[in-house]
Structure 1
Amino acid sequence: MRWILPALLACVVPSVAVAQNTDPTGVSFLGWMAWTWQTALFFACIAAVLLIMTGWEIARPGGDPREPGILGINTTRGDRLFISLLSAAYIHLAWLALFTGPLWWASIIALLWAAAVAKWV
């Protein structure tokens, strides 16, 4: 598991450079995308999760299949990650449509839902 920290750094460092919209020479690039450090961190976290899942699959092949849970389908750990990520997007969209509060609450709900998916789906 010594590879996790280098994998996280490999995702975060380029994302911060993209968020600053400059290359090492100071020339602006991707300025039309309006990246912020929050956006860069979001994509870095997704990339880190995918790298960790890849390492986990290499270390323990097979995806840890489970019998049908509350959704009634057989799932592997990759399926549960996909369901969690897709659900998080819908939770955030629903929050934006229905509530005026900060998105942190939607993120907390999405994390709780991801834990439930990992446990029971």
Structure 2
Amino acid sequence: MLLDPTTADPWYRRAVRVSMGEMMYLPIGRAARWPEALDELRSHGFVVAALTPAPDAVDLATFTAARPERVALLLGAEGPGLTQVALSSSDLSIRIPIRDTVDSLNVGHAAAVAFAALADPTR
């Protein structure tokens, strides 16, 4: 997991508790230069995809049907979502289809849906 410089401390006691300790098994790094760090990911073959509720974003199912081998998924903060800088620094935007009557999913649920859809069952 790569964090931008403004992200909360992943080792904060409540964060560890809410993750039920799972974050202890996840490599975590903090990018000193953001969004320039995304270019480093691209140089290693990652496609940078921004998860957003924007109606013009590519549907998650469409994206996963032709999923690149390596995907870096950008997730925004609860409420404001991704910054305009993050959105414009991504290679594309993807969205989880939801009913018109629903504004958005919370970031935890959206992440779970997206990660499950992007999981490679052959690994």
- TM-score normalised by length of structure 1: 0.30
User: Whose helix proportion is higher, 1 or 2?
Assistant: 1
Larger radius of gyration: 1
- TM-score, scaled to structure 2: 0.30
Higher relative contact order (CA 8 A, sep 6+): 2
